[in-house]
Chains A and B, each alone.
Chain A
């Protein structure tokens, strides 16, 4: 009743095939300042799938936290995605210390979120403040490729923090750099640059603003009287990034939305930024504690 010839057993996969050992290799690192650094990750599949406006969730090590980071660039030919990270909390500081070309991040998941709506809309202003300069770049490039007239406005605290101005110049029809202290470009905030642009161009179709919440709020308030459509990219506290935990809920005029699946892009005139800022402080105490403990651990190891 049994077949007697030897049938090979189904090949057995190495334990846990993909997930325990897999990780994503860092192929390049670049430091823009003593707090801002760039990581280019080898992930051909994600490079193919990524579109401007999307983000990833990164876990740098076992026992680490899952942090959302906007995709700052992707290169389909090289098969890489680029993240620009500011060392502000425990995880991002530790990554600044540990991540080098050739090392691995244990988990990078994405691209997540709805891609930005890119079209030949006419004149579009891409505003980036501080770290927001990185994620607004692929949008500027995509708008340019779609045939739009792209005006770039990027702002930094001072000259030492400037990065990617050359990349912007290459894709923008007009380009303004702002700095708080006037050490480079226009003296003032990005909103000053934005006001200048609005005064010079009465026919702006859309403003895309990415940066710290206070900056996006100021941009939305700048464009509101002119009735210019303003898109902002929100980065609230997240855990899974797949629309399951609800930690990233944001308050809009027309109700509750989830940044990870409904966003991260929203209409800046609808967003309740004060609520967003409050919710970003949700773990302020724990963040402080984690940084202190980590700093101490580092010192103890010296």
Chain B
């Protein structure tokens, strides 16, 4: 096959079918419906198959991107899944929630002239296909006798658990909530990441032999030190995630009707408060909702509010669209759905209706001054530009502080902000204890947490003296009746992993 060039590939990025805004604000179904097989085949043709791809190092988990796309081109979809699953256990999740424009797609050379290859959409298509077809790469590993304890079943913990289970470790994940998944479950709404996808991906993890214990608050039920000293874990990974929500210390923050985005999303996603009273957890959402902040969590909070019947949803952000930390796609979706953006506005006070409830908000206009330490232009209040508007719910989505529980109950060293102090290999101050994700870095993304979990897993293997394992794939599709390792055909859903 002649080498593809920028002129020979399909020029247009294949659009992804989406639900129309007017329709989708009334349901929790996914906004982006996902590629069809034809869409995926067309889009996969746009990959130039660079000999030294820039996208692979740009991926926090280093998926062999041209490799899996080449398999799609060759209609070897199972092979595409194998290639992704080698690096990433959760393609259906990452294909949806990764900020690809800052990672793989951001460095794609096609993007220099045209729109970059839609790597995320292709990954999602493969992931969804794997769930539909029931593919899972169940490894055939020799147990190595090491026991690993993982604190938190969010993306960092899941990624770390998968790598260590594939290496032959006996892995137990502890989760404080009654369902596993961490932020994937309580934080990301169904229209971005359906519950069924999370459950399928977690079932894959359990197929790897990972045990998940819910309703277990590590630190309080038992400590990190006890896990090592008494419970027989040879190494521990801490991925406890986000901490307490930040507030601004302005008047009115204690009024009823003021909630953190974490609380709103947890009530709605994990506890299904939108179904109250069929589900017992109430939501208490007003008709006019003001969300402070403009990150991805703020977008989620706003779009959830719209779907739960809010008539007006305002976004209050002290900088402009340019500085907004949310993904462009999320901003566009929010705007299409009817969110009113108020850029260059900072809250001054939340107003009381006289009965302890929110009746509105007073804000002040800002203008952009000199760039600050983050390189973004610092917003400066414009004197006398105060304005008021009515609202009955105010949602804070301006980030989180460190969760204190592990620090309160362990001698582990924290940094000055209260996050767990690790070296660049994710080792903490306690021997055998590693940490990663939001509890180390503060609020970040799902894929960065997964990357941290994988880095920690590599370090833990080194610490335990486990040598790198090798994945050996056997192509079953060429000769379906050929026996694989003497196993009957129906049990052949294996990847063989052999420790070197």
Contact = CB atoms under 8 A, between A and B. Distances in A.
Chain A partners chain B: yes
B279 interface: yes
Given A243-B244, A245-B245, A283-B282, A278 B356 contact: yes
A18 interface: yes
Contacts of B16: none
Given A2-B496, A114-B408, A279 B256 contact: yes
Interface string A9-43: 11111011111001000000000000000000000
Interface residues of B, number: 71
Contacts of A272: 254
A17 B280 contact: no
Nearest to A238: B263
A66 B282 contact: no
Interface of A: 2-3, 6-7, 9-13, 15-19, 22, 45-46, 49, 54, 59, 63-66, 90-91, 106-114, 239-247, 249, 251, 255-256, 258, 261-262, 272, 275, 278-279, 281-283, 286-287, 289-290, 293
Contact of B176 (A91, A240, A256): A240
A19 B212 CA distance: 7
A297 to B, nearest CB: 10
Contact of A19 (B142, B215, B222, B259): B215
Interface string B348-370: 00000000100000000000000
A2 to B, nearest CB: 7
A107 B284 contact: no
Contacts of B138: 9, 12
A239 B356 contact: no
Given A16-B212, A63-B278, A239-B266, A110 B178 contact: no
Interface in B162-211: 165, 168, 175-180, 186, 203, 206-211
B214 A19 contact: yes
Contact of A91 (B263, B272, B280): B280
B142 A7 contact: yes
Contacts of A22: 213-215
Given A10-B141, A240-B266, A110 B280 contact: no
B243 interface: yes
Chain A at the B interface: SS class: loop
B245 A246 contact: yes
B403 A243 contact: yes
28 contacts: A2-B496, A9-B141, A10-B165, A17-B212, A18-B213, A18-B214, A19-B179, A22-B213, A46-B221, A49-B221, A59-B178, A63-B280, A65-B271, A109-B176, A242-B217, A243-B403, A244-B244, A246-B245, A246-B259, A246-B262, A255-B249, A256-B254, A278-B356, A282-B256, A283-B284, A287-B282, A290-B276, A290-B280
- Identify the interface centre among B211, B213, B254, B276: most chain A CB within 10 Å of its CB: B254
Contacts of B213: 17-19, 22
